[in-house]
Structure 1
Amino acid sequence: MKVNQEVQIRDPFVFVDREEGKYYLFGSTDKNIWGRGTGFDVWVGEDLEHWEGPYPVFRPNVEFFSEENFWAPEVHEYQGSYYMFATFLLKDSGKRGTAILKSDSLTGPFHPHSDGVVTPNDWFSLDGTLHIDEEGKPWMVFCHEWVQVGDGEICAVRLRDDLKEAVGEPVPLFAASEAPWPTSFHHKTRNTQENYVTDGPYIYRAENGELLMLWASFVDNVYAQGISRSTTGKVTGPWVHEEKPLFASDGGHGMLFHDLAGQLHLTLHSPNKTPNERPIFISMEENAGVIRRGENG
């Protein structure tokens, strides 16, 4: 396991540029992550230990639809351009949602691409991620937040081919309480019911063709990373859940990637307390669709 002490970041996302031989590390980079947002930065490295930056990749103008909660940017290459899926708190409604930004370069600048958020306007939503299905059609997988529904959900919605907007209504995939490992909590001010968190979904197609999903929740108030799999190989599921979390040591919102040498890694942030969060890189092994920590992880 590698921990970078120089980079303070939440929700780390690594884009591997195999042509350049470089890694681009995106994430929630505001020092006051819970308050006013300044934008997003990227760190660039030729290995997973030494990073240059941060370099600004997105800064909002005065007309931008959000001023707070700039969270969880993911960058995906799609049809020759780079698209950033990121969460924002909306000025007009006070709700959160995922919007899509676009750039011709991994170092930006990224500009708004979708017309506002592509999640439902009346939902508290976050952490949208891109998935291209077996027919080449784009979907977004995202969280319907516990702050609105109590038992946090993970949903999927079809996107228009140009990623400008959603097509149709979101499809609920599962609620956090359906998995055996997350535990509930009571919130003093939001509600008195049992609440379960869903955070940071990431879709990964295993070597054997199975469709896996990483997502985060809490175990006894400790941030944890779990994994689920689609029984059909399709994003609409049904989804079944592993009995125990993949990582339960106060870390989560992770993603999987193969490094330049082909080694599989899990990256996530840990601990889950600002300003101490750091990106962690863990070597993983994949066997018949099962992801486990490797010998050097």
Structure 2
Amino acid sequence: MHGRVTALSLADIQIRDPFVLTVPDEGAYYLFGSTDADIWHPPATGFDCYRSTDLEAWEGPIPAFRPPAGFWSDRNYWAPEVHLHGGRFFMFATFTAEGRRRGTQILVADAPAGPYAPWSDGPVTPRDWECLDGTLHVDDGGRPWIVYCHEWVQVTDGEVVAQRLSDDLRAAIGEPRLLFRASAAPWARRVDHPRVPPGVDAYVTDGPFLHRTRDGALLMLWSSFGDTGYAMGIARSESGRIEGPWLQDADPIWAADGGHGMIARTLDGGLLLTLHQPNTTPLERAVFRRLREAGGTVVLDAVTD
């Protein structure tokens, strides 16, 4: 993906972990995600993004982030999310390097497409933890939190964790709070992997994303593996606060070889579920599906086209 091309369709764009930023002032959408052709092996290139006014024809790739000289990470540039906060655009993205723990670092830009530059001093997730897929949540009191995954490769039963951020989003403050473990979801299934010892049940957590419904319910999308491969479920906070307790839906909202999603607000006020499918490199593509709120949750409505 080099140089700028116009009128790309989603079928033309190899991308994992798609994230749509809606910019009403421009009447436009920006699509971010893991965009290196091989996200699993070094060297990493950076993150590209794509711009559209109708969610169908996309302009790009636009180089949103390229690592500056001396940047600490050279591999596994994963799952960038962009959030407008305090008038600036903050990217939460996962990085790692040889001899370093994987973690989420925060970058900043003054325009939706960047260019993004490091903002936090390395990862804001705990330096001795294997973490990924940090997302921003701002609670009813206006306090920012990062919600992220403590990886199954370190804890076996993957965890979703919340931690307060400083108001300027430069650093984590306070202690991590365990929200739930992957095995709490009835739909989640153990994974077989060479790094899992015989007889040990390992469960994956990926891609948390928070959504507050119009009636005040606090929902979380997150991904793991189900009966038919990579999947995405919904957890809901019983208290309506990030601290929970969190209850898991019995069945995933997306069950068939796709996941790591988020919920975007469309320019017409609707809701859009994003995910990648299939979960196989280099075939993965962004998939969009309309959602609607019903009974304190979200349900699939219809395809965008």
Q: Shorter-chain TM-score: what band?
A: over 0.9
CA RMSD of aligned residues (A): 1.2
Q: Does 1:101 align with 2:107?
A: yes
Q: Secondary structure at the match of 1:243?
A: coil
1:70 to 65, 69, 77: 77
CA–CA distance in structure 2, aligned partners of residues 257 and 61 of structure 1 = 30
Q: Secondary structure at the match of 2:121?
A: strand
Q: Secondary structure at the match of 2:192?
A: strand
Matched residues, percent identical?
Answer: 53
TM normalised by structure 2 equals 0.94
Q: Does 1:30 align with 2:46?
A: no
CA–CA distance in structure 1, aligned partners of residues 73 and 302 of structure 2 = 44
Amino acid at match of 1:95: R
Q: String of CA shifts for 1:89-140, please: whole Å, max 9, x gaps.
A: 134x331000000010111110000001000001000000000011000000
1:86 counterpart residue number? 93
Q: Secondary structure at the match of 1:66?
A: coil
1:148 counterpart residue number? 154
Q: Is the 8 A contact 1:90 1:97 kept in 2?
A: no
2:165 to 159, 170, 173: 159
Q: Report the number of matched residues.
A: 294
Unaligned runs of 5+ in 1: none
CA–CA distance in structure 2, aligned partners of residues 264 and 8 of structure 1 = 23
CA–CA distance in structure 1, aligned partners of residues 264 and 91 of structure 2 = 17
Q: String of CA shifts for 1:54-103, please: whole Å, max 9, x gaps.
A: 10011002310100000000000111110000000134x33100000001
Q: Is the 8 A contact 1:185 1:221 kept in 2?
A: no
1:202 to 204, 209, 212: 209
CA–CA distance in structure 1, aligned partners of residues 113 and 195 of structure 2 = 40
Structure 1 residues 197, 188: CA separation in 2 closer, same or farther (over 3 Å shift)?
Answer: same
Q: String of CA shifts for 1:141-186, please: whole Å, max 9, x gaps.
A: 0000000000000000000111111101110000000111101123
Q: Is the 8 A contact 1:207 1:288 kept in 2?
A: no
Q: String of CA shifts for 1:185-230, please: whole Å, max 9, x gaps.
A: 2322343311000000000001111100000000136000100100
Q: Does 1:50 align with 2:57?
A: yes
Post-superposition offset of 1:296: 4.5
Post-superposition offset of 1:7: 1.0
Q: String of CA shifts for 1:237-269, please: whole Å, max 9, x gaps.
A: 000010100001100000011211112110100
2:118 to 89, 98, 112: 112
1:184 to 190, 193, 218: 190
CA–CA distance in structure 1, aligned partners of residues 204 and 132 of structure 2 = 12
1:273 counterpart residue number? 280
CA–CA distance in structure 1, aligned partners of residues 97 and 175 of structure 2 = 20
Post-superposition offset of 1:295: 4.2
2:239 to 216, 227, 232: 232
Amino acid at match of 2:36: D
Q: Is the 8 A contact 1:285 1:293 kept in 2?
A: yes
2:15 counterpart residue number? 9
Q: Is the 8 A contact 1:202 1:214 kept in 2?
A: yes
Amino acid at match of 2:251: K
Post-superposition offset of 1:288: 2.5
Structure having the larger proportion of residues in strand = 1
TM normalised by structure 1 equals 0.96
1:135 counterpart residue number? 141
Q: Does 1:253 align with 2:260?
A: yes
Unaligned runs of 5+ in 2: 1-8
Q: Is the 8 A contact 1:264 1:283 kept in 2?
A: yes
Q: Which deviates more from structure 2 when the two are superposed, residues 116-125 or residues 281-290? A: 281-290
CA–CA distance in structure 2, aligned partners of residues 78 and 162 of structure 1 = 9
Amino acid at match of 1:18: P
Post-superposition offset of 1:290: 1.9
Q: Secondary structure at the match of 1:94?
A: coil
CA–CA distance in structure 1, aligned partners of residues 51 and 169 of structure 2 = 26
